[in-house]
Chain A
């Protein structure tokens, strides 16, 4: 059995680790490229949302490299993601690929279901529950570490003296984390990481503009789709924070609700005057996080969504009011297969200019007020 799964940012690192620790062979889809996109677009329903299409591209490229089993998350709605797997299964079948598709339906209070599906994969390899727990813990630790280096990098990027150095370090660290084979090695790697980061020379007293990124999870997490927005903003001297990291996604989608952190719910309260209930995906959360970023003193927020993304369209209706009430500039960027790097950079620059300008005005107001 040669397992593969779709890309979404760095999620391939913990997933590969998990399946390999369970004795499966993993074939990673090559990183998303233009070709992935083209394959996906050519073989998916025209009006499906972008993540579905790129998934298809990933699958085809992985199958071509020998994968015969696809692991995919499922869902119970209300959004399209919950039906992705079924549609993708049909597409691949119609294309004549002979692959097995294992769709992990979210537990909804039934955590055992998930364990059973994973066990199905593992018993073939003579693994016990204990092995499974160990594998899960190891993968989880890697995910935490990845989130950690991502957060550190976005702090360093706007402050680095030698441009591009942070990314170099970051990329090599991701590779290191991917290759680590056991938990003790992971512990030693932690030291290596702080050493590597401390070597990056930075402008100590620089206080960069701070921008939060919210929106639909796939577009937030997958740099290929969001045209590397975090890196681009870093180059423009902006410190970037996201509302969601990989570990958040796992917590939300794969853990039973009693294990979810409490502040999740509290934060959603912030959205209620504007979006009063769950609207699928991260629609309500996007609004809550805009409020939250504003409260934490951020200078602006960028809202990302794929073209026709339903929950985020609902969220978008609330943005003008929220932005006005909390005096925080918000720019919405709709991404689709035609998004081009050129115009994108200009838009980012204009937005950052605007933020800097209004920040200056604010500062002057404060100064003259004194």
Chain B
């Protein structure tokens, strides 16, 4: 049920540097905070973010407990060819959320 907002330029020129922005809804619960009952709230964080461009990894990141809820990750890559960008976020329970975006390169 998690939601993501992804911004990839719909069209770009070959060789152009493009900025990609992603915003993922996630509590990023650190595992260090006590809840109302004094017990620690179990850790629930995204640990890995990967973006592939036509199958090739162009960006990846490891996330840690100090990172904000709803992490916003932006990065750049070079528009090489038309195709698909696949984004995946994997949490500490091993669950992965995948989202795709297409890109047109002229």
Partners in one complex: no
Q: What is the interface of chain B, defined by CB distance below 8 A to chain A?
A: none
